Amino acid sequence: MKKVVVHPERCVGCMQCMIACATAHSQTKNLFSATLEDPLPRPRVHVGAGLYGEGFPNRCRHCDPAPCMFACLPGAIYRDWETDTVLIDPDKCINCASCAMACPFGVIRYHEDASAPLKKTVAVKCDNCLERQNQGLIPACVEVCKSRALTFEDPSDAMKRKTNEVAQSLSSDTSRIEIAPGFTLLNTIKRTQVELKIEN
Amino acid sequence: MSKAYEKNTITEDGQLLLKKAERDQIETVWDRYEAQLPQCGYCEMGLSCRVCVMGPCRVDPFGEGPQKGVCGADGDIIVARNLCRMIAAGAAAHSDHGRDLVEVLAEVAEGRAPGYEIKDMEKLKRVAAEYNIETEGKDPLKIAGELAHAMQEDFGTRKKELTLVKTAPEKRQELWKKIGVMPRGIDREISETMHRTHMGVDNGWQSLLLHGIRNALSDGWGGSMIATEVSDILFGTPAPKLTAANVGVLKEDQVNIVVHGHNPVVSEMIMLACQSPEMLKLAEEKGAKGINLAGVCCTGNELLMRHGVPMAGNHLVSELVLTTGAVEMMIVDYQCIMPSMGDVAACYHTRMISTSDKARFPGMTHREFHPDNARELAKELVTAAIENFENRGEVYIPVEPVNAIGGFSVETIVAALGGTPQPLIDAIAAGKIRGAVGVVGCNNPKIKHDYGHVTLTKRLIENDILVVDTGCAAIANAKAGFKVADAIEFAGPGLKEICGSLGIPPVLHMGSCVDNARILVLASALAKAMKTDISDLPLAAAAPEWYSEKAVSIGVYTVASGVYTVLGPMPPITGSMNVVRLLTDGLNDVVGAAFGVEPDPEKAAVLIRRHIEEKRENLGLPFMKL
């Protein structure tokens, strides 16, 4: 089954996934009109900053077993077995934050949402863009990611690619080929800048 | 002291005021930087393009996603176009500043600028002679009028080349002609950059960058140089003056007025008003012991150079200066003034005044300065500042100021050497001074505030390399105590001996960021005296904490003038390794100098020392292998 796979080494930190996610979960599905909606749509994916200011797209892993699901006393969190997606029923959610305490990844947020009853604050997280998938579209974050830090594929395909990359990097007769020397250069500079702040 | 404050700045006043800012719930540039992390990698690499509306586009640096914009431009073209636009913006900023001064000069000639006058007659005549204006027996105001007119022509397109490029060494001029980068008109080159970078015009990344060089030269040897020369004519050529730096220059018992920005046209008039007996009397009536004028950023440097007006801080502390609660009024003109300043001032009694018809800011009162109203308006503003003294709340000035000497124009340096650059050349030839380096540029929250400037400068002078500095770097070095005669203690034995005998500090304050033109003039004078090109000399430049488009233009014209230049932060070019290789290596074969990038000032010092020793070896001077 295809899933959203994160490749952190390719994240350039542009945050376009966040904008696309918020738009995909808006009422109008259009960036410009979405910014005028009430409640304002918010992203389910969050780009964090690493030690050296590098990006990382943090999204729900749809764990199995899912700690959030066990922590949810009203039973608002459930698994859609067909798509292997952990979902939250906004009608049942009591905004108790138990799921956030249980979540090892910090991907749950609490706010009003177009999918919830009016003026009700509920737990919100990634729903794998099931609405889009039903229309034959791929998840919005993947569609917008041009550096392939987010892909929508069978995880075993992604792992096979990674296996080959690792294998190639360990080949005895080839030196390691940089896939993007400029990006490595940029990150070297950024790392130096931060290390200087900490060390001196 | 909390670790966070120490992480952001090496300065004591900065650390203490950051703590105060946190207590006062003031958001600073460092908070906003943290909030921006991670910054967009496409933009950091120069791979995002907003030039047209078929886009915006970005190129995937990993090679799997899109490799071309909608128009077909690849990473090389997009990076080169973006860089050229940065150069154009920087050149425009310096040159428009120069234009404003030329306009004041023209108004002075017409007698329509009360308060302004010709202060340096000798320089007026000398610069007029460069423009082939007859000065013998002519009324100075007439000379000024003709000079202003001739300079205005340099901005337009009526000539084949700018006038002041002929002050460069002949070999350099020939090189510029040969590779086709001789600047023809200041506005023309900027305009041509905007044309070339439009969709579907210049799509050769090399030819784009070559024009970028021409555009930057039109700044260094055009707009910036005109700005410096006309400032000297109108306000006097700087000579060494005792001054002081850091936030401790603010005075608890006086009315504090701070000028921030770049152009001396406004700050000079404010200074005159601050000194007038009428204003001083009013201040006394309001319970203040006097009127204390201080500077932030380069308009402060302009006043420091000519009058010894003290400097409250550089770019990154401009917000913190207001958190002292001691500033009655801050008067700004343009460039590098953070739009957040009004928000910070709103938490204190400080009144914020914007003065330029081309620069407005939220939370500031706009009082526009023009040559005809400047003198009167300055008095009005100073009066308002004095009347604001009684509204002061808690005042926190946590440090004592550090003494410094400023005001080293080329004229002064040559005069100190006995009228010719020869003694300096002799000292370099003997190896007592290994070479000279311009440490210039801004602050940037990506580098610990002042750490880059101060560390690099310290390493250079202790290795017998003379440092000249401008802009925010110059303020950093003043705060670090490198600019008093006793600072020779920080210098190596050779530099210590030479500076000691001349009674000068080992770090010479040469002015504001447009005054980098002074450094060009000095390098040119050395090259001419040695009958060679600038690129042969044991010189280098560094911008350890640069942030602005102006700095890009400065860097490019410095390299194009033949000076190896080491940048701290990486410019947005890593999306094209072709551009990276050209700028850091290939340019050596084009203009005899190239860029280096090294955020660690300890390592930058080694790069620079190595470069200087190589140049010494090539000149047949005693050298060291590093």
Residue B299 counted as domain residue: yes
Q: Which domains does chain A have, with CATH numbers?
A: 3-155 (3.30.70.20), 165-199 (no CATH)
Instruction: Kindly state whether residue B608 falls inside one of the protein's structural domains.
Output: yes
Determine, for residues A146 and B66 on separate chains, whether the beta-carbon distance falls below 8 Å. Answer: yes
* Average pLDDT, rounded, for chain A: 92
Hey, which residues does B454 pair with through a beta bridge? none
pLDDT tens-place string over residues B598-624: 999 999 999 999 999 999 999 999 999
Do both B368 and B434 map to the same domain? no
Cβ contact B60:B66 at 8 Å: yes
pLDDT tens per residue across span B165-180: 999 999 999 999 999 9
Half-sphere exposure of B494 (CA within 13 A, CB side): 18
Is the CB of B614 inside 8 Å of chain A's CB atoms?
no
Same domain, B453 and B334: no
pLDDT over 60 (residue B320): yes
Instruction: With beta carbons less than 8 A apart as the criterion, state whether B505 and B295 touch.
Output: no
B53/B80 same-domain check: no
Q: Which of B588, B592, B546 is nearest to B566 (CA)?
A: B546
User: B14: which 2 tokens?
Assistant: 């900065």
Q: Is the pLDDT score of B376 beyond 90?
A: yes
How near does any CA of chain B get to the CA of A172, in Å?
Answer: 24
Nearest CA in chain A to B66: A146
A37 Cα distance to chain centroid: 23
- Check CB contact of B569 with chain A, cutoff 8 Å: yes
Q: Are strands B435-439 and B465-469 parallel, antiparallel or unpaired?
A: parallel
**Whether B180 contacts chain A with CB within 8 A:** no
Provide the residue range defining the domain that includes B369.
247-391
Examine residue B414 and state whether it is found in any structural domain, yes or no.
Answer: yes
- A182/B446 CB distance under 8 A: no
Same domain, B369 and B418: no
- CATH number of the domain enclosing B227: 1.20.1270.30
> What is the identity of the amino acid at B496?
K
Q: What residue type is B463 in one-letter code? A: N
Domain shared by B256 and B193, yes or no: no
pLDDT of residue A173: 62
| B477 and B611 co-located in one domain | yes
pTM: 0.92
C-beta atoms of B62 and A192 within 8 A: no
Tell me, yes or no, whether B63 lies in a domain. no
At B1, the pLDDT band (50, 70, 90 cuts) reads very low
Residue pair B124/B142 in contact by the 8 Å Cβ criterion: no
> In this structure, what token pair is assigned to residue A14?
């542009």
**Identity of the residue in A54, A55, A147 whose CB atom sits nearest the CB atom of B61:** A147
pLDDT band at residue A34 under the 50/70/90 scheme: confident
Residue B49 marked ligand-binding: yes
Give A109: exposed, middle or buried? Use CB within 10 Å, 0-12, 13-18, 19+: middle
Best of A197, A198, A199 to disrupt the B interface (most B CBs within 10 Å) is A197
Calculate the CA dihedral of residues B459, B461, B464, B469 and round it to 10 degrees.
Answer: 120
Which residues make beta-bridge pairs with B354? B332, B366
Amino acid letter at A129?
Answer: C
Instruction: Show the 3-state SS of B313-336.
Output: ECHHHHHHHHCCCCCCEEEECCCC
d(CA B132, CA B128): 6
Query: Is B174 within a domain?
Result: yes
Give the orientation angle of helix B205-218 with respect to helix B549-560, to 10 degrees: 90
Chain mean pLDDT for chain B: 96
SS3 A88: strand
In a domain, B363, yes or no: yes
- Among candidate residues B207, B235, B263, the one where a domain is terminated: B235
The answer to whether the Cβ–Cβ distance between B44 and A186 falls below 8 Å is yes
Q: Could you give phi then psi for residue A146, rounded to 5 degrees?
A: -90, -10
> Does the ipTM surpass 0.90?
no
State whether residue B281 sits within 8 Å of chain A by CB: no
Residues B352 and B418 in one domain: no
- Separation CA B86–CA B65 (nearest Å): 26
Share of chain B above pLDDT 90, in %: 96
Residue A181, SS3? helix
Q: Tokens for B622?
A: 């005693």
Closest C-alpha among B160, B169, B122, B157 to residue B143: B122
Same domain, B292 and B203: no
Tokens of B49: 């393009």
**Helices B516-529 and B224-235, packing angle to 10 deg:** 100
- CA-CA distance, B72 to B67, in Å (whole number)? 9
Q: Do A182 and B7 touch (CB under 8 A)?
A: no
Residues near B126 by beta carbon (within 8 Å), at least 6 away in sequence: none
Residue B131 near residue B230, CB atoms below 8 Å: no
Cα B341 from chain centroid? 20
pLDDT in tens, B227-266: 999 999 999 999 999 999 999 999 999 999 999 999 999 9
Kindly report, residue by residue over A128-156, the tens digit of the pLDDT: 999 999 999 999 999 999 999 999 999 99
Task: Report, as an integer, the average pLDDT of B279-301.
Answer: 97
Instruction: Choose one of B391, B424, B449: the last residue of a domain.
Output: B391
Q: What angle do CA B167, B607, B479 make, to 5 degrees?
A: 75
Q: What order do you get walking across the sheet with B402-406 strand by strand? A: B365-366, B351-354, B329-332, B255-260, B291-296, B311-313, B241-245, B402-406
- Name the strand (E) or helix (H) holding B252: none
Point out the domain boundary residue: B362, B391, B420.
B391
Q: Is residue B95 part of a domain?
A: yes
Query: Which B-chain residues 36-75 have CB contacts (< 8 A) with chain A?
Result: 37-45, 58, 60-66
Pairing, β A55-58 against β A46-49: antiparallel
Chain A interface disruption, residue of B59, B574, B581, most A CBs within 10 A:
B574
Let me know whether B448 and B373 are in one domain.
Answer: no
- For residue range A169-184, list pLDDT tens digits in order: 777 665 566 778 889 8
Which of B60, B451, B600 is facing A146, going by the closest CB pair? B60
Are B458 and B605 found together in one domain? yes
Specify which residues B469 forms β-bridges with: B439, B509
Residue B567 and residue B545 in contact, taking contact as beta carbons nearer than 8 Å? no
Query: What percent of chain A stands above pLDDT 70?
Result: 96
What domain count does chain B have?
4
**Is the same domain home to B523 and B593?**
yes
B484 assigned to some structural domain: yes
A140, A132 in Cβ contact below 8 A? yes
Q: Which two tokens stand for residue A66?
A: 């899912």
Q: Can you give the CATH number for the domain in which B519 is found?
A: 3.40.50.2030
Q: Are B316 and B425 in the same domain? A: no
| Whole-number Å distance between alpha carbons of B58 and A67 | 38
Size of interface A-B (CB pairs under 8 A): 103
**Distance between CA atoms of B195 and B55, rounded to whole angstroms?**
18
